[in-house]
Amino acid sequence: MAVTIKDVARLANVAPSTVSRVIANSPRISEETKRNVKKAMEELNYHPNLNARSLASQSTQTIGIVMPSSGDVFFQNPFFPTVLQGISEGAREKKYALHMTTGKLERETLEAVTNMVQGKRVDGMILLNSKVDDKVMSFLKKSDFPFVLIGKPSNQIEEITHVDNDNVRAMREATEYLIERGHKQIAFIGGSLDLMVTVDRLLGYQQALMNANIPIKNEYILHEEFLRGGGQEAVNELVSLKERPTSLVVADDFMALGVLSTLDELGIKVPEEISVVSFNNVLLSELSKPPLTSIDINIFDLGYQASRSLIQKIENSAEPTKRIIIPHKLVERLSCSEPEEKKYR
């Protein structure tokens, strides 16, 4: 059996509770005994049993994450590891660990979450995919269990702490960027309308067009899977239109990559014939041909702020509900045509 607090206590000639206090770094312990106890711990190579500690103290110093179900396309997208990296860094700084489960079906996922929450395995949860009518979220809400959402909740916005970008504005700016470059036929390639991020971006797109008095055409608005395949299909539809768009806003770099490669196969030149602005600015947007002009949404920060604010909430239950907006930035590369003025200079 492993070395316990009692062994340490015996060796240091103190009571177990004193050892416990030393671990917790209680202020009302004399420096001397602290030293003694620490020496004893070293000597025995003592490490606290975290299960026992969690059981007694009702806290785990662990954050739970609902991963996209294995097999989910989300895994393929660089978004996931990056946001995880951010979460992980925020947790590490506060000495929290990460605990994750997957479920294939929504039912399984819910069960896994219930287990880890009711089973007291974690002190709080970070949710990644804010679906409309999310069972996991309503469970957490009902249980009054600390959680934060990355993305935007579909309802009860004011009552759910979440970390998000201003996707409406971001997409408006992306679209305006194209409008400034003289484009009027701008198509939108987004993900599923079940996702709030798509809803917001579509809205931003429409706002930009309206502000510029450009009519909104339904055949220019496409919804595809957040994956490269989506990009290909979308392009095929768009180029067969009689009024072919001269530019595209694409909701994800990965999709944009599919778009680019399909356009290339069709012999359509970017940016000469079609301009493309995409989202996320993951590494590969720099390596594509041409390099993609992309909105950097600071994915890492999304995760980082999520774990920080979750930990705040865990450690202070009076912490108010918050909405944290992570700034975005348009990164210009070579996938868009130059504005008219420049051309004629």
Partner DNA sequence: CTGAAAGCGCTAACAC
Partner DNA sequence: GTGTTAGCGCTTTCAG
Cis previous bond, 215, omega within 30: no
As a whole number of angstroms, the distance between CA 87 and CA 99 comes to: 12
Q: Which of 4, 36, 114, 312 binds a copy of itself (CB under 8 A)?
A: 114
User: Shortest gap between Cβ of 8 and DNA (angstroms)?
Assistant: 7
Helix then strand then coil, % of the chain, to nearest 5? 50, 15, 35
**According to CB under 8 A, which one of 115, 156, 211, 321 is a site residue for a copy of itself?**
115
Q: Is 16 in the site for a copy of itself (CB under 8 A)?
A: no
Q: State how far the Cα of 54 lies from the Cα of 120, in Å rounded to an integer.
A: 8
Contact string 233-272 vs a copy of itself (x = CB under 8 A): ---------------------x--xx-xx--x--------
Stretch that binds a copy of itself, among 84-92, 150-158, 167-175, 212-220 (CB under 8 A): 84-92
Indicate which of DNA, a copy of itself, none lies near residue 29 (CB less than 5 to 8 Å, by partner kind): DNA
User: Judged by CB, which is closer to a copy of itself: 47, or 242?
Assistant: 47
Geometric angle at alpha carbon 333, from 345 and 230, rounded to 5°: 125
CB of 198 to DNA, least distance (A): 41
CB of 154 to DNA, least distance (A): 34
Pairing of strands 293-296, 275-279: parallel
| Interacting residue ranges for DNA, rule: CB under 7 A | 1-2, 4-6, 13-21, 23-24, 26, 28-30, 32-33, 46, 48-49, 52-53, 55-57
CB of 313 to DNA, least distance (A): 19
By CB under 8 A, is residue 85 in contact with a copy of itself? yes
Alpha-carbon distances, residue 279 vs 55, 72, 89, 264 (angstroms): 44, 20, 23, 20
- Contact yes or no for 62/117 (Cβ under 8 A): no
Compute the C-alpha angle 117/118/120, nearest 5°.
Answer: 70
Place of tokens 């009519």: 215
Residue 13 binds which entry of a copy of itself, DNA, none, CB below 5-8 Å type-dependent: DNA
